[in-house]
Amino acid sequence: RRVVRQSKFRHVFGQPVKADQMYEDIRVSKVTCDSSFCAVNPKFVAIIVESGGGGAFIVLPLAKTGRVDKNHPLVTGHTAPVLDIDWCPHNDNVIASASEDTTVMVWQIPDYVPVRNITEPVVTLEGHSKRVSIISWHPTARNVLLSAGCDNLVILWNVGTGEMLLALDDMHTDLIYNVGWNRNGSLLVTTCKDKKVRVIDPRKQQIIAEKTKPHDGTRPIRAIFVADGKIFTTGFSRMSERQLGLWD
């Protein structure tokens, strides 16, 4: 007899928000990538969308809810699907996008709704040899952007000049699942398919702490720094039960 695993949430019901308070008719990307596909800041919401021949995302002012016009201008410039987007913490009109075409592009978004697609990035960053699935702006330093790709490589960029500041290339033996900065941007935490969580000092370019198998399951592990410098992880047990961990 098959055991049906009961969900704890089977008696939880949500109320859908009113139509005029949501964004409708957005064709969200169907690319198989472990990304949130959207990014938001105090001015805009950006969502990675389906597009023929290349990759694109749509940027909508937060106040402009309701049905989205199917001819609404997109941000298009990548030659393959967009996998991750991240707003700059120091400028609400700047967003970065990472793509399967191995590049990272940084865009300037105007305050008004443009008439046609935005196709010219401010800068294109080229240095990865495989698709780039993770990008993250430095929390305190201006113009510093991190990218991580399927080539197991983490690169820090100077967006102002378009040059590579440093490449952390011999630290990960397998696919990188996620990367997170601490509060002041002095340390990185990464999780990897080799089941290790690493704390990296990018200035010294060395691993200062490492934990093997924080969760025993085979599914991807995620990690972030919390405010006091501890590390919070999510993962699964051997029986595929969800687990949370807090580490010193």
pLDDT at residue number 1: 62
pLDDT at residue number 2: 67
Task: Give the count of beta carbons closer than 10 Å to the beta carbon of residue 186.
Answer: 12
pLDDT at residue number 126: 94
pLDDT at residue number 45: 96
List, for residues 171-188, the tens digit of each pLDDT value.
999 999 999 999 999 999
pLDDT at residue number 196: 94
- Residue 55 bridge partners (DSSP): 78
pLDDT at residue number 14: 86
pLDDT at residue number 222: 95
The two three-digit tokens of residue 147, written as one number: 């990218």
Low-confidence ranges of the chain (pLDDT < 50): none
Residue 170's contacts (CB-CB under 8 Å, 6 or more residues apart) are none
C-alpha 155/C-alpha 159 separation (Å) is: 12
The two three-digit tokens of residue 192, written as one number: 């990897």
Set out the domains of the chain in order of their start, with CATH numbers: 13-169 (2.130.10.10), 173-247 (2.40.10)
pLDDT at residue number 244: 96
pLDDT at residue number 105: 96
The two three-digit tokens of residue 182, written as one number: 């601490």
